[in-house]
Chain A
């Protein structure tokens, strides 16, 4: 049976068919759906871990215990998981261990464009790169075989376009994978210097064998066509290149680390002009240059952003699509925004009013940086807000802490915010941290986390009590407040930033998109009362619009959250159909 599956769904299917027992992850676009889909199979234990490092450690433990296991993350998640990865490369595996890492060229939903192949090379682990959903499933199963045959973790590298494109996939049955015996083996699994020194040569030996495998495995294949043009490519770039050069010869790489040097030489010898087409870093290209093979790659193609058939055609063939119309209007950009009813809107309205420095973090609430809320000063990585607020205080003195806050979501706080907060307490900081507790992991599409009280499978579980957690590490001032109670919230923020000791404000209000959140009827503006003072426009609500000088509420977008009624001094905003 063939089914139309997202790349991520196809990975999940491959995981199921490969007989995997344990699957872990921290959500991150574009990787999230992998583990969401795995969780639907009763045969597999799946979990959301607090962060990618823990997730990988759980997967390593399961592998050592003899199960096939996997761990999924976005590219920046691999930075968090790099510590266990680099040493798991030395220990090797018992049951197969595969990491699914999704890069985001073009930064559709990310803070940078790093290339996972570079980290994999550093960690000395092999990388497979599927180019569509069919290969996602197929390569997943091969990855587990490679992992066990070569005693190594394996990375399957994805990109946004592969993860989030659907393609037809043939479904097969799950294999019956017997747990491998667990045998104590400190020389393999205890990486203290004495043992690690003996493991490192084995890693180098393994890379040699993998280079051989890369040359001979069917993962890397030549498709002979016209030999005037030869193209070495992998992943989604293969699909784009096939559209632009349907008749050319291709060396299509499914294993991108280690690269098949022999195969590359054989291919290069036969073709006249050789292109390397790869998104992001010149990884394949540099290998060719090292082998003294002349290729055309990044001299014409960008290291920045996502590719497309159109871009390749333009850069390599100089052919640009003609414009077939006379429409030359300026089209205003449409950046993403906080949703109507979003609890963060109340928080940022107050922070902007108080003119505070706001150290931001990763999540929907990063959108508070955009006009008109324009409240967020910095965003670096998961958890950075808290450490950076502390750094600002230590650099500029405690006065800086009187006008600075860190804002961080509930899930991000658990991911890596708590350690920063411990640092503030330990090192006598006086910063104020606002935990934006919207009861869910929002941006990635509503995943449960340790603060929600439910597991990935929707089962009730213990819930981290953020208030008690903060108190336990030594924060004596913990306040809980609804950010839609604007006057109370403002009072609480004023008090806490003034305090000469560390404090936490838990801004508690659930995400407006959660199914259990009840919405009110859309609001409307009574034009007799409205003075067009535009206070409501300062909320940056997408439902409140200026229609040629008078303010209106778009009833198709308004969810009746009533936040705007609290900033209107003329009581001009009413329930549709009049005052109740």
Chain B
């Protein structure tokens, strides 16, 4: 599999930018062409955030279209539901079970849908639910949610584990490498209890 389209969706402030940076680095070390489209600015203030990563022999558009994502990496349940149409029918769908209420839900103007992950699994049985916040907490830092998510995703690609670890080492500050690799490994070795 040379051409890959990956979408990382979540809430501004969850560390999705570092995730896409690691993915871009992985693509470079595989010798592929790659484009990464990021979100900076206002949406980073707790808004819905989507990052696109496309790799292959030649990449034109940096944006992933509907039904095109080989991997939909979701940092939050509601965001998974928002972007689900972008996943390929047989794509990898990885959902962090964390819930963050958006302001319209907090103010009572909208309702947070129940059982999102079960609903997604009804249409996409391959979808995986990950308690990434709990795993990150057990690594000593809730900010490592992104590394847990990268770990789970890495497991579902045919890219060597070491390539991921080297990419993480190149993209985090030296003092945080150990904790981040630990979180990555816990994600990589995570098995969902069915």
Binding site for B on A (CB under 8 A): 2, 4, 6, 29-30, 32-33, 108-109, 132, 161, 164-168, 236, 239-240, 242-243, 308-310, 321-327, 329-339, 364, 367, 370-372, 443-445, 537, 540, 542, 544-546, 554, 556-557
Contacts and interface: CB of A to CB of B under 8 A. Distances in A.
A239 B110 contact: no
B111 A321 contact: no
Given A324-B67, A331-B78, A339-B46, 16 more contacts: A29-B40, A109-B42, A164-B39, A166-B24, A166-B35, A166-B36, A168-B34, A242-B60, A243-B60, A309-B61, A327-B84, A338-B45, A443-B41, A444-B41, A540-B106, A545-B101
Contact of B62 (A239, A321, A335): A239
Interface string B64-82: 0111000000000011011
Given A4-B34, A334-B79, A540-B107, A308 B123 contact: no
A239 B61 CA distance: 5
29 contacts: A6-B38, A108-B39, A161-B62, A165-B37, A166-B34, A166-B35, A166-B62, A239-B61, A243-B60, A309-B65, A324-B123, A325-B123, A327-B81, A329-B116, A331-B78, A332-B78, A332-B102, A335-B104, A336-B45, A337-B103, A338-B45, A367-B42, A371-B104, A372-B103, A443-B42, A445-B41, A542-B46, A545-B105, A554-B101
B133 interface: yes
B140 interface: no
A332 B106 CA distance: 11
Nearest to A340: B46
A165 B46 contact: no
A166 B133 CA distance: 28
B38 A164 contact: yes
Contact of B102 (A240, A310, A333, A544): A333
Contacts of A309: 61, 63, 65
Residue of A323, A326, A327, A367 ringed by the most chain B CB atoms within 10 A: A327
Contacts of A556: 98, 100, 133, 142
Interface string B87-109: 00100000000101111111111
Contacts of A132: 35, 62
Contacts of A322: 67
A325 B47 contact: no
B33 A4 contact: no
A271 B148 CA distance: 52
Nearest to A557: B100
A546 B106 CA distance: 6
Given A6-B38, A334-B78, A336-B12, A542 B43 contact: no
Nearest to A306: B63
A33 B39 CA distance: 12
Given A4-B28, A336-B42, A324 B89 contact: yes
B48 A167 contact: no
A384 B17 CA distance: 33
Given A109-B41, A336-B44, A443-B42, A327 B24 contact: no
B163 to A, nearest CB: 15
Contacts of A6: 38
Residue of A309, A325, A326 ringed by the most chain B CB atoms within 10 A: A325
B98 to A, nearest CB: 7
Contact of B45 (A4, A236, A308, A364): A364
Interface of B: 11-13, 24-25, 27-28, 33-48, 59-63, 65-67, 78-79, 81-82, 84-85, 89, 98, 100-113, 116, 119-120, 122-124, 133, 142
Contact of A544 (B67, B82, B106): B106
A336 B102 CA distance: 9
Residue of A370, A372, A542 ringed by the most chain B CB atoms within 10 A: A542
A331 B38 contact: no
A239 B54 CA distance: 13
B67 A334 contact: no
A332 B110 contact: yes
Contacts of B12: 336
A481 B89 CA distance: 56
Contact of A239 (B33, B60, B84, B124): B60
B3 to A, nearest CB: 12
B66 A310 contact: yes
A540 B61 contact: no
Given A323-B85, A333-B110, A308 B63 contact: yes
B120 A109 contact: no
A514 B86 CA distance: 35
Given A321-B67, A332-B105, A371-B109, A109 B43 contact: yes
The 3 closest A-B pairs by CB, nearest first: A109-B41, A29-B41, A336-B47
B88 to A, nearest CB: 8
A132 B112 CA distance: 38
Nearest to A28: B41
Contacts of B122: 326
B85 A337 contact: no
A372 B107 contact: yes
Contacts of A554: 100-101
A161 B37 contact: yes
A75 B43 CA distance: 18
A30 B40 contact: yes
Contacts of B67: 321-322, 324
A334 B109 contact: no
Nearest to A324: B89
B106 A32 contact: no
A333 B82 CA distance: 9
Contacts of A367: 42, 45
A161 B36 contact: no
A444 B45 CA distance: 10
B123 to A, nearest CB: 4
